[in-house]
Structure 1
Amino acid sequence: MLNLLRNPRWQAFTAAALIAIISFGLLSMWQYNRAEEERIEFSAIAERLDSSPAALSYSDDSDAVNWQRVQVTGEYDSDAQLLIRNRPQSGSNGFWVATLLRTDEGATWVVRGWIPAAIGNREPAPTAPAGVITVDGYARTPDNAPARKADDVPIGQASAMNPAGLSEIVAGPQPSAWYVIAANDSSLTPVPLPEATDSRNLSYAGQWLLFAAVVIGGWFFFLRREAAETSEEMNRANSAASV
């Protein structure tokens, strides 16, 4: 059987199989590493979700405080409220209701909750509470997109949760780099917190290993089959020669 490996055709086939196996192995390792990165990232987020509320500075880097529990005290600016488009939740499209909260330190945008698109397109969102209020919630990293991506976005709506861009739309003060997902506004449906899920990357890592196993199995299958056929032909030739 090993004599077949001296055949140039089989040498080329073996080289191609080795390249495929190595490639699939590397892809599997990459997917596994991605899954591990996601696990580590979510572990850090889970710690922040369970931590005591922090007093964040408006200059804090948004990535460093993502999903950190916070308490922010101030007064809502009812004239600075926008609906953030394309925020699906529980299988339905809808809007985030974002309102500017003015504080002693400056201002920060607060996502007070979620409303279905059918309501947001037809009637105003519930007004924010009046007077001084303490918002319990979670700091969030802004969307990496313009607050208004197109000229056809209706008045009172925005395309992305980008605090600086939202303040430009409503001519408000320069806000904090991060925004807050409120956890205590009973007038709106709360925005869900992140949950640990089975990483797709682990499934993909297993699939690439399966592909590598198929190549290995196929290589042995075709090698044994051709070796058997070659041996059978030689036996027939020897039988014919001895007649």
Structure 2
Amino acid sequence: MLRTLRQPRYAALSALMLLVAGLCVFLGTWQIARLATKRDENAALRHNDHAATAPISDVLPLAGSGPAPSTDEVEYRRVSATGTYDATQQQLVRQRIVGGDTGYYVLTPLRTDGGTALVVRGFISATGVGANEKVTAPAPPTGPVSIVGRVRMAETREDKADQLPKGQVESINPGEQAPRLGVGVYQGWLQLPAGQPGTENLTPLAEPDLSNPAGGAIEPQHLAYIIQWYLFAALALAAPIAMARADIKRADQDFDAREFDHQDGALDSEVAAVPAAMTEEELRAKKLADRYGR
């Protein structure tokens, strides 16, 4: 076996398989880190979901007043706010999907004493709306309201308010909203559940899936990837040995076949002198007896 593996073609194959195995081990180890990260992220978001409701000013800073909070710190936290909806600054957030239906989030600023909260009151479908038709959303309630909503992370991409029809945006970006509103805006947005003031006649957004709140691959899937990559590494290391064993076995079989043909030819010449009266079975028995001994 060792002599076979030292042949140039097997040496080259072994070197290649070592590289492949090293890459597979690296990917498996990376998946271990990804699994640990996913578990931490899911645990943080589930903790946020179960945390007690807090005033919005205790959870979110105003945009531009400091670093934005991390997802693990605030995503899905329930916060309370009291103020007045600003219907004149209501906007529709384009290209959103709820329940498989494409449409708009209804984004309404809620002006409070500490700053303005960007509140998504619900969703309206774009199905059946013509390309040139204007989409309108129900007006929010007037007067002071008190709400409890879930914190969702601010979106950082450009909202393109100056490139779209009036009252529409591409994203919920507090940093770009603040100059237009002329007030401090909290660094994030609130998702209102059904039954809160302002959700009437709107489709509520779905509650988060806490089985895998961080999204992406689920935890068991990362575990399967770990097993898969380490198994690939073991197969890569075993490949040269398996191929060498197969070649050795094939060579042994070829040798035995040549030896058998040589002995068979010699026996055939001996059998030629046997009386013609012998039957085929007797001839076969004689050949076997001569080969292996009586």
Bin of the TM-score, shorter chain as denominator length: 0.7 to 0.9
Equivalent of 1:105, from 97, 100, 114? 114
Q: Corresponding residue for 2:285?
A: none
Q: Corresponding residue for 2:236?
A: 215
* Residue 175 (1) aligns with residue 185 (2): yes
Distance 1:88 1:179, change over 3 A: same
Distance 1:29 1:78, change over 3 A: same
The equivalences for 1:1-243 within 5 A come to 1-57=1-57, 58-59=60-61, 61-63=68-70, 64-118=73-127, 122-148=134-160, 151=163, 153-168=164-179, 170-183=180-193, 184=196, 185-195=199-209, 196-197=211-212, 198-199=218-219, 200-216=221-237, 218-235=239-256
- CA drift of 1:174 comes to 2.7
Distance 1:93 1:213, change over 3 A: farther
- CA drift of 1:98 comes to 0.8
TM-score, length of structure 1 as denominator length? 0.86
Q: Secondary structure at the match of 2:85?
A: strand
**Counterpart-to-counterpart distance in 2, 1:24 and 1:186:** 54
Q: Is the 8 A contact 1:148 1:165 kept in 2?
A: no
Any idea what the Cα deviations from partners look like across 1:83-106, whole Å, max 9, x if unmatched? 112222222222211111100112
Distance 1:186 1:208, change over 3 A: farther
- CA drift of 1:155 comes to 1.9
**Counterpart-to-counterpart distance in 1, 2:26 and 2:161:** 39
- CA drift of 1:74 comes to 0.4
Distance 1:206 1:95, change over 3 A: farther
Any idea what the Cα deviations from partners look like across 1:61-82, whole Å, max 9, x if unmatched? 4323222110011000001111
Q: Which amino acid aligns with 1:43?
A: A
Distance 1:207 1:47, change over 3 A: same
Determine which structure has more spread, i.e. the larger CA radius of gyration: 2
- CA drift of 1:231 comes to 2.8
Q: Is the 8 A contact 1:158 1:166 kept in 2?
A: no
Q: Secondary structure at the match of 2:88?
A: strand
| RMSD of Structure 2 on Structure 1 (CA) | 2.7
- CA drift of 1:239 comes to 7.4
Q: Which amino acid aligns with 1:138?
A: R
Runs of 4+ aligned structure 1 residues displaced above 4 Å come to: 119-122, 233-243
Any idea what the Cα deviations from partners look like across 1:145-194, whole Å, max 9, x if unmatched? 1111883x2221111111121344x4442311122111222432222232
- CA drift of 1:15 comes to 1.5
- CA drift of 1:107 comes to 0.9
Q: Which amino acid aligns with 2:177?
A: L
Q: Which deviates more, 229-238 or 122-131?
A: 229-238
- CA drift of 1:122 comes to 4.8
Q: Secondary structure at the match of 1:124?
A: coil
Gaps of 5+ in 2: 63-67, 213-217, 267-294
Q: Which amino acid aligns with 1:32?
A: I
TM-score, length of structure 2 as denominator length? 0.72
Q: Matched residues, percent identical?
A: 29
**Counterpart-to-counterpart distance in 2, 1:228 and 1:11:** 19
Q: Is the 8 A contact 1:62 1:142 kept in 2?
A: no
Any idea what the Cα deviations from partners look like across 1:195-243, whole Å, max 9, x if unmatched? 2233443443344334334434544432221121233345567779998
